Amino acid sequence: MNDPEILPQQQRELPEPHERHHPMPWAVLWLVAAMAAFGIVYIAYSEVDTPSSWGDGRTRAELAGEARPAAAAVDGAALYGAVCAACHQPTGRGLPGVFPPLAGSEWVAGKEGTLAAIVLHGINGPLTVGAQTYSGAMPSFKDQLDDAQIAAVLSYLRSQWGNAAGPVDAGTVARVREALHGRSGPFAGDAELKALP
């Protein structure tokens, strides 16, 4: 068998590097092995029943996903921040001439049923809050939020920014939803809302 011809260009090339010329230092190998051993021992001896106060404060039931009481299931403040704050602002002061304020509003402090009707069906017409008239449109939330969620948001509104009205329960919202089940459009402002029972 003939040996392959080695060209001058090939003779100029350096040989391929091999680890045997520069092996990994033993100190690095020992360090990696010690870290792996420490991790195994740490996990094996770690406590899984540590108090929630050591972490983020969640209880075992919350971490396990167990059912919480229905009263604590809906956070009205979080829903307000997600659904309402873009228009009515986080401060509840609204936008002048467009979105009415919820702080100090007679509609918020007024009849629970009227407030529930506003959130369920929305408004598309002039609405007077205080001495100022607003012409913005409010969308309907009857298909986006259930009765408990609407009740939580309304209860939050009625207790914030100087408002001191009582909470609204889901039963009240359900009764208003049932009474207005045939309605398909928003309320046409003040006049129609004042006519509600």
Per-residue pLDDT of the chain (197 residues; tens, 9 = 90+): 577 887 888 878 877 766 666 678 889 999 999 999 999 999 888 877 766 566 666 667 776 765 555 545 678 888 888 888 888 888 888 888 788 888 888 877 878 887 888 888 888 878 788 878 877 788 888 888 888 888 888 888 888 888 888 888 888 888 888 888 887 888 787 777 777 76
Is 23 within a domain?
A: no
For the chain, the domain total comes to: 1
pLDDT at site 38 = 96
Contact, 112 vs 168, CB < 8 A? Answer: yes
CATH code of the domain containing 189: 1.10.760.10
The CA-atom distances, in angstroms, between 151 and each of 66, 82, 154 are 23, 15, 5
CA dist 112 and 170 (Å) reads: 11
For residue 146, the enclosing domain spans 74-194
The CA-atom distances, in angstroms, between 191 and each of 34, 54, 106, 172, 196 are 78, 56, 15, 22, 9
Contact, 186 vs 137, CB < 8 A? Answer: yes
Is 172 within a domain?
A: yes
**Which residue has tokens 């309605």?**
183
